[in-house]
Chain A
Amino acid sequence: MSVVVDIGHRQGGFSLDAAFESSGRLTALFGPSGSGKTSLINAIAGLIRPQRGRIAVDGHVLVDTGRSVFVPRHKRRIGMVFQDARLFPHMSVAANLRYGRWFTPVSERYGDIGAVVELLGIGHLLERRPGKLSGGEKQRVAIGRALLASPKLLLMDEPLASLDEARKAEILPYIERLRDETKIPIVYVSHSVAEVARLASNVVVMAQGKVAAVGPTAEIMQRLDLFSHEERMEGGAVLDTRVLHHDERFGMTVLGSPAGEIRVPYLQAIAGQPVRVRIRARDVMIATEKPHGLSALNVLAGRIAAIEPGEGAAVEVKIDCHGVTVMARITRQSQHALSLTSGREVFAVIKTVSFDQANMATAPKEQFDA
């Protein structure tokens, strides 16, 4: 499964000129608002007609301006979940869900309503009208409606952006299940580091209508130079780990990673289950020798791989801990006092309580097995 996009489009004062290729399970289009993410997926869905370029999904050419190919949106079989759910107000939830199925040839249908309803937990809403649903419920129904049209690719345009934190937390697990339990590749538009770090297997970073970077999530999350000021505070390392065991006595879960054991607050997960954790650079301290008498439980040994200038008084230190990179944001003064330089052996110190539930989630399977 692959998505190949290379398009140019000019609209008013904005110009989009972007090319990327992705074969990930969930590809995030990440960037500030106005960077062209939405235009890009609108072009993939067929909602706008790019002036130049080529779009192919799974080998099927959808747009090729050179050969005057433009497949109309209703023949693309690409599902779309919009920021504003866009449920049909004159139909019940059940009729909304069935809508796309109608137009899908029987031979190309997959999944059934019962399974999707169960996956998204919307069974109790079927008879209701969309006008009576909460924002989170609407968005779940919208996801179900897109899924039941049996799309070859699912596009999600900031599906959580208009929801409050509680609703986001309600929906995120469903998107994870979608990513892990269905075989549909997803392109997910977001401007939130937390969402991207948690969900994505690959990231395409957009800035001012252009692709600024493409790569695996863990790699991109360390490129703090790509982020805006607020997002920089959220940036850091993304580690894919496995649950080793639980420490019932202290209500903790112990995760295994190449960097060593990481102790985090208790997680609802069974041993062996993959878990992705995000360690914000600002939550990491550096010690030059193994610390004693310290309350922080996670001490990872490593070697400084690089020191990059941060904003203001800060520098960002990349520490290679047995092959995985952990980032620390410290002051230039500390760097000077500890005379930290590239290549030096250090210890990265992380408090267990700095891991909150929003920073931990089931990890995406690396390979898409379609």
Chain B
Amino acid sequence: MNWLLDLSPDEWNAVRLSIKVATVAMLVSLPIGIAVALLLARGRFWGKTLLNGIVHLPLILPPVVTGYLLLLAFGRRGPAGAFFAEYFGLVFSFRWTGAALACGVMGFPLMVRAIRLSIEAVDRKLEAAAGTLGASPLWVFATITLPLILPGMIAGAILSFAKAMGEFGATITFVSNIPNETQTLPSAIYTFTQVPGGDEGALRLTLISVVISMAALIASEVLARRVGRRMDIE
């Protein structure tokens, strides 16, 4: 156990950074994911197939390609990167924020899929009933739809978190592999495997990675079960 926890400061930073990046990626993409899932599940508009395709692209493209596209769009000289830097003071390139962006984008299709499925499973008759009781569409969403899709939201969030914990290709392409800034667990493991005598460090981080992923999975199971019990759908 001591051997496992006897991490160098750089290794600790990689663990902390990974958790931070994955958490931020998950939290920021959740509201966007809900909105996009709603659009895809319920919207009727021109270009829906196109939107669906774009959302799913990161799932199909080689991660390196996604990372490179992010670099082009969100890099210092990229149009989106320049926009965020100028108006929000938010810089992505070679920063941990960029790692979070890359992880969020890679996990996005998984999150949207899970939420979309749960939205499609919601009985719209319940929403109609809430409407006749005086609830405006916004209230119907907040008091009926949202609670009913909670299990799907939890599943989507956990999938996104897990994907972010394991994301490697897009991250390293977009923001490189800078210790203390963009070196997440997978990058750190990769670095260890590239130097002689790094096997022990790689194994340590690998085990830590397994533990964190398992913990996230178990947490989501417990949460989903608790919500499901509360719901008790007919």
- Residue numbers of A with Cβ under 8 A of B are 45-47, 72-80, 82, 84, 86, 88-90, 99-100, 102-104, 129-132, 145-146, 149
Report Cα–Cα, A231/B128, bound state, in Å: 32
Asked if A73 and B131 make an inter-chain contact with CB atoms under 8 angstroms apart, the answer reads: yes
Given contacts A86-B125, A89-B233, A131-B233, is CB(A149)–CB(B131) below 8 Å?
A: no
Cα(A100)–Cα(B130), bound, Å: 8
| Structural contact, B125 and A84, CB atoms closer than 8 A | yes
Task: List B contacts of A100 (CB < 8 A).
Answer: 133-134
* CB pair A132 B232 closer than 8 Å: yes
- Among residues of B, the one whose C-beta sits closest to the C-beta of A42 is B128
Set of chain A residues within 8 Å of B132, measured between Cβ atoms = 45-47, 73-74, 76, 78-80, 146, 149
Which residue of chain A lies nearest to B232 when distances are taken between CB atoms in the complex?
A131
- CB within 8 A of B230: which of A79, A80, A90? A90
Does B194 belong to the interface (CB within 8 Å)? Answer: no
Tell me if B135 counts as interface (CB < 8 A to partner A): yes
Do the beta carbons of A103 and B135 come within 8 Å of each other? yes
Known: A46-B131, A88-B130. A74 touches B234 (CB 8 A): no
Mark each residue of chain B from 157 to 193: 1 if its CB lies under 8 Å from any CB of chain A, else 0. 0000000000000000000000000000000000000
Q: Which of B91-107 contact A (CB under 8 A)?
A: none
Q: Closest 8 CB pairs between A and B? A: A103-B134, A100-B133, A86-B129, A131-B232, A73-B131, A80-B132, A89-B233, A131-B234
User: How many angstroms between the C-alpha atoms of A46 and B129 in the bound complex?
Assistant: 11
- Cα distance, A99 to B129, chains bound together (Å): 11
Q: Which residues of A contact B144 (CB under 8 A)?
A: 88
User: Which residues B108-163 have CB closer than 8 A to chain A?
Assistant: 123, 125-126, 128-137, 139-140, 143-144, 147-148
**In the complex, A247→B126 CA distance in Å?**
50
Min distance, Cβ B6 to any Cβ of chain A, angstroms: 47
Residues in A with CB closer than 8 Å to B232 are 89, 129, 131-132
In whole angstroms, what is the CA distance A82 to B131 when docked? 13
Contact of A86 among B126, B135, B136, B137 (CB under 8 A): B126
B231 within 8 A of A: yes
Contact across chains for A145 and B133 when beta carbons are under 8 A apart:
yes
Q: How far is the CA of A103 from the CA of B234 in the complex (A)?
A: 26
Residue pair B130, A99 in contact (C-beta under 8 Å): yes
Q: How far is the CA of A131 from the CA of B136 in the complex (A)?
A: 25
Closest chain A CB from B43 CB (angstroms)? 19
Q: For residue A131, which residues in chain B have a CB less than 8 angstroms away from its CB?
A: 232-234
Provide the bound-state CA to CA distance between A73 and B131, in Å: 6
A78 contacts which chain B residues (CB < 8 A)? Answer: 132
Among A77, A82, A90, A129, contact of B129 (Cβ-Cβ < 8 Å): A82
Residues of chain B with a CB closer than 8 A to A102's CB:
134-135
Contacting residues, chain B, for A46 (C-beta < 8 A): 131-132
Residue of A nearest to B234 (CB): A131
Known contacts A89-B233, A90-B148, A129-B232; decide if A77 and B134 are in contact (CB<8 Å): yes
B contact residues around A82 at 8 Å (CB): 125, 129
Query: Which residues of the other chain, B, contact A74 by a CB distance below 8 angstroms?
Result: 131-137, 139-140
Contacts A77-B134, A89-B233 given; does A103 touch B139 at CB 8 Å: yes
A149 close to B133 (CB less than 8 A): yes
B229 to chain A: closest residue by CB? A129
Residues of B within 8 A of A129 (CB): 232
Kindly provide the distance from the CB of A22 to the nearest chain B CB, expressed in whole angstroms.
20
Return chain B residues, CB-CB under 8 Å to A84.
125
Kindly list chain A residues whose C-beta atoms are within 8 Å of the C-beta of B148. Answer: 89-90
Name the distance in Å between A107's Cβ and chain B's nearest Cβ: 14
Q: A90–B146 Cα gap in the complex (Å)?
A: 11
Measured between beta carbons, the chain B residues less than 8 angstroms from A145 are 133
Q: How far is the CA of A219 from the CA of B152 in the complex (A)?
A: 55
Name 22 interchain pairs, CB-CB below 8 A, sorted by A: A45-B132, A46-B131, A46-B132, A47-B131, A73-B131, A73-B132, A80-B129, A86-B128, A88-B126, A88-B129, A89-B231, A90-B148, A90-B230, A90-B231, A99-B130, A99-B133, A99-B143, A102-B134, A103-B139, A104-B134, A146-B133, A149-B134
Q: Is the CB of B133 within 8 A of A103?
A: yes
Across the interface, which residues of A come within 8 angstroms of B125, CB to CB? 82, 84, 86
- Who on chain B is nearest to A95 by CB? B143
Minimal beta-carbon separation of B7 from chain A (angstroms):
43
B137, closest chain A residue (CB): A74
Residues in chain A near residue B233, CB distance under 8 A = 89, 131
Task: Select from chain B the residue with minimum beta-carbon distance to A132.
Answer: B232
* A78 to B129 Cα, complex, angstroms: 11
Chain B residues with CB under 8 A of A77: 134
Residues of chain B within 8 A (CB-CB) of A75 are 134
Minimum C-beta distance from A147 to chain B (A): 11
Which residues of A have CB within 8 Å of B230?
90
Besides A80-B132, A146-B133, 11 new A-B residue pairs in contact (Cβ under 8 A), listed by A number: A47-B132, A79-B132, A89-B232, A99-B135, A102-B135, A103-B133, A103-B134, A129-B232, A131-B233, A149-B133, A149-B134
Q: Which residues of A contact B131 (CB under 8 A)?
A: 46-47, 72-74
Q: Which residues of A contact B231 (CB under 8 A)?
A: 89-90
